[in-house]
Chains A and B, each alone.
Chain A
Amino acid sequence: NAGVTQTPKFQVLKTGQSMTLQCAQDMNHEYMSWYRQDPGMGLRLIHYSVGAGITDQGEVPNGYNVSRSTTEDFPLRLLSAAPSQTSVYFCASSIGSTVTEAFFGQGTRLTVV
């Protein structure tokens, strides 16, 4: 039972580089989201999706793009990495029309130098 799978687990980027953080879930959940976790800041929502083809911005969307072409996948793209994007990124998914009981991936630790 895979649940929510994130890749890679660790990544180092140079300032200005772009990359895609992958997220896949096998639970047929409609709702998926991306969070970043910084010390003392808790989890802050970057982008979320309520279903294939539908995405919306969260609290801290600048510098990130998302798309949702399938129910299973919700990649997060960093367009031009900046040191301020050094963080731990979590993908989450949940089921149903009321958003409860999110399941999280193991996280991607990103360092931008």
Chain B
Amino acid sequence: GQQLNQSPQSMFIQEGEDVSMNCTSSSIFNTWLWYKQDPGEGPVLLIALYKAGELTSNGRLTAQFGITRKDSFLNISASIPSDVGIYFCAGPGTYKYIFGTGTRLKVLA
């Protein structure tokens, strides 16, 4: 079945640093979604990408839909302590979502 692999699995960064993470798929997706899960909460949608090559920003977050349609990237600029959490990529299949295993981000003040 379809699988999504995220890397890195976890990362510690200093406040103010930029962060990059990626997600790769074993098959093609037509949409990529990036979610963030705060501790003790459910995932919340950050960015949705609908077209290969698309680059979309949401504040300090920028995500890209890879041109092969098998990968996506999320960048966070000038990280702050509230960026801590787990970041999931997801691809929608028919009537259901496939989620990556997540990248756990910890920001050191």
Residues of A within 8 Å of B95, CB to CB, are 31, 48, 50, 56, 99
Query: Do B42 and A105 touch across chains, with their CB atoms under 8 A apart?
Result: yes
Residues of B within 8 Å of A12, CB to CB, are none
Interface size grouping (class) on chain B: 20 to 34
B60 within 8 A of A: no
Give the residue of A42, A99, A101, A106 whose beta carbon is less than 8 angstroms from that of B96. Answer: A99
Q: Which of B76-92 contact A (CB under 8 A)?
A: 88, 90, 92
Report the minimum CB–CB distance from B40 to chain A (whole Å): 8
Cβ-closest chain B residue relative to A106: B42
A53 within 8 A of B: no
Residues of A within 8 Å of B93, CB to CB, are 99
What separation, in Å, do the CA atoms of A99 and B91 have in the docked complex?
Answer: 9
What separation, in Å, do the CA atoms of A45 and B94 have in the docked complex?
Answer: 13
Query: Do A102 and B45 touch across chains, with their CB atoms under 8 A apart?
Result: yes
Residues of A within 8 Å of B40, CB to CB, are 106-107
Q: Which of A90-106 contact B (CB under 8 A)?
A: 90, 92, 98-106
Residues of B within 8 Å of A101, CB to CB, are 33, 45, 48
Would you mind naming 16 contact pairs between A and B with Cβ atoms under 8 Å apart?
A4-B42, A42-B4, A42-B88, A42-B100, A42-B102, A48-B95, A50-B95, A56-B95, A92-B97, A99-B92, A100-B33, A102-B90, A106-B40, A106-B42, A107-B40, A107-B42
Interface residues of B (CB under 8 A from A): 1, 4, 9, 31, 33, 35, 40-45, 48, 88, 90, 92-97, 99-102
